[in-house]
Amino acid sequence: MPTSPLAPNPYGYYDESNREFVITRPDTPTPWINYLGQGQYGGIISNTGGGYSFDRDPRNRRITRYRYNSIPADQPGRYIYLRDQDSGEFWSPTWQPIVQRHLDSYECRHGSGYTQIASSYKAIDTSILYFVPPATSQGGIPCELWRLSVRNTGDRIRQIRTFSYAELS
């Protein structure tokens, strides 16, 4: 954390050197969202992976589904599940939708056109980067990318399986 964070509050602060808003707790009073994309293809993502993707028009051309003010809150979204193959225990590094699992650490960084969520649970560190690559002069295929990094910081070998989830419209 910077020596003098800007706009500090109980849930995070603004990191001026990286031009990111850093959310340090997943249980914000409402979803804190960011915009992914640069025009035609884009998305809205919350600090816990909720939100939706769309093609040109966020109201009428949604690709993934999202229910405003729904119960449970801020769902569905872009989720990755991890499962320890030995114990059978599973969790999500974004906290949602498995809020019963108390992550050992959590940090969301909303930057310009990307969101990165990092967390740790029982000696498994994860980092997910969500972004839409920029279009090129040659065109390109509009898409949203999720880059997951997983690292075992414990002293025993772990077998972790990953699953992704997004509800299509």
Task: State residue 2's pLDDT score.
Answer: 47
For residue 98, the surrounding DSSP H or E stretch is: none
For the segment 85-132, what is each residue's pLDDT rounded down to a tens digit? 999 999 999 998 888 889 999 999 999 999 999 999 999 999 999 999
Residue 150 confidence class, pLDDT cut points 50, 70, 90:
very high
E strand residue ranges, 49-122: 51-55, 79-84, 90-91, 105-111, 114-121
Q: Summarize the chain as % helix, strand, coil (round to 5).
A: 0, 50, 50
Task: State residue 143's pLDDT score.
Answer: 86
Alpha-helix residue ranges (DSSP H) falling in 9-98: none
Question: What values do phi and psi take at 39, rounded to 5?
Answer: 140, -100
Calculate the CA 70 to chain-centre distance: 19
Question: Is the pLDDT at 84 greater than 70, yes or no?
Answer: yes
Question: Is the pLDDT at 142 greater than 50, yes or no?
Answer: yes
Report the mean per-residue pLDDT for the chain: 89
Does the 20-165 domain belong in CATH 2.70.98.40?
Answer: yes
Q: What percent of the chain has a predicted confidence (pLDDT) above 70?
A: 93
What is this structure's pTM? Answer: 0.90
Q: Which of 58, 53, 28, 57 is nearest to 43 (CA)?
A: 53
